[in-house]
Amino acid sequence: MSIPTTMFSASYQPGNTELVINPAYPVPRPKAGEVLIKVSASGVCHSDVSLLSGSWLDERQYVLGHEICGVPIQLGQDVDPNEIHLGKLYTVNLLHPCTHGAVLTSTVGEGLDGGYAEYVIVPEGQLVLVPEGVSLEEAAIAGDAATTAYHAVYDSAGIKEGTNFKVLIFGIGGLGHLALQYAKHYGATVYAVDIKPEARALALELGAVEAYSLSTLNDKIKNGGFQVDISIDFAATSQTFQLAMSALTQGTKPYPFTGKAIMVGLSEESMNFSTLGLVTSGISVQMSVYGTRSSTEAALNLFATGAIRALITTAPLHDVNEVINKLRSFEVEGRMVLIPKLQCSSESYHTKSRLKALTSRLVQDAEQRVTDWLGTTRVDVLA
């Protein structure tokens, strides 16, 4: 296929709170061990918002966007065409097999040019083949949101086949709504916490037993008798941390209690605790950062089987700054994904299926109310 010499791109440049748009950015060429990818979709992450908002400093300039799927169109020297197939869909895992140290600051879209563009260079070892049945949107978010959430649940928290933990999840956003489903999939009883009513409604829809605001959770803990085995925190504020500690130490579980507080979210807030209190509580506080290639593969397979469904809204790549600002103002439910050449924003089929399921549940509720009112065994309110 013909490869153009320039492309649309959106770059991070120090001192700018928005991405710098360049409609004629040079299309790169792959070196040895690299692959030129035509970007199919790119997810938008809150870490991009944090970088643009000055939460941490980076003096480098590069195309942002680390949550990518796309199609190889040109192979660099030494790339085996029997391993990397031209024209097939791949997700980009952020970890290069041979990289050590501060890997998530020197990878695709994090220090190196990323996916807020029409083409991107990716080391061959970071490409994960997407199985049949996975959409472009799902394949994109599998590279970060799904990988991070899966790793937090399965590897860090140890929620897997044969377990039956009680789990408290803070933040039912782009990662949290996936983590909730992973935990449910592996047999956990899940409680959810979010400040937004619509996020709490989504949590209940996805199978949470109960969904709390911060104040209602605080009241429930004060009333006693509420205890969980594991907390997974995608908000990571001092308030959510203290609530997690309280929920993990309530109740009458025998010593030694081995509760886990898994911290995933990024914030600038300090978490206050004493080593005396932490050691005697038996709680293990653990950071969970990203995930392995196997996490990405597992997340893709769960999308392929339909066991997990993502709430995704798509927008044109050209609207990237508008999307960034929506994330900045917490207007996004689920995950946003940018599509090159898309003409206008749209809800993906994931959202439509969600609305269909919600409608079905509302109809069932209506049937039950009519049944209760008439005192009959069943009433068909819809043909």
Token reading at 341:
């050449």
- The predicted pLDDT at position 349 comes to 37
Q: How does DSSP assign 244-303, residue by residue?
A: HHHHHH-S-PPSSP--EEEE----SPPPP--HHHHHHHTPEEEE-----HHHHHHHHHHH
At a CB cut-off of 8 Å and minimum separation 6, what does 369 contact? none
Token reading at 248:
């993990």
Q: Are 157 and 331 in contact (CB under 8 A)?
A: no
Residues of the chain with pLDDT under 70: 97-104, 250-257, 343-383
In the chain, which residue ranges form alpha helices assigned H by DSSP? 46-52, 136-141, 147-150, 176-185, 197-205, 214-222, 238-249, 275-281, 293-305, 320-328, 349-374
- The predicted pLDDT at position 364 comes to 45
Handedness of CA 266, 270, 275, 276 (dihedral sign): negative
What length is written for the chain? 383
Q: Are 234 and 173 in contact (CB under 8 A)?
A: yes
- The predicted pLDDT at position 343 comes to 61
User: What's the whole-model pTM score?
Assistant: 0.86
Bridge-partner residues for 71, per DSSP? Answer: 38
**Amino acid at site 181:** Q
- The predicted pLDDT at position 284 comes to 85
What are the tens digits of pLDDT across the range 70-122?
Answer: 999 999 999 999 999 999 999 999 987 655 555 567 899 999 999 999 999 99
Cα dist from 194 to 44, 200, 271, whole Å: 20, 6, 19
In angstroms, rounded to a whole number, what is the distance separating the alpha carbons of residues 205 and 85? Answer: 39
- The predicted pLDDT at position 376 comes to 33
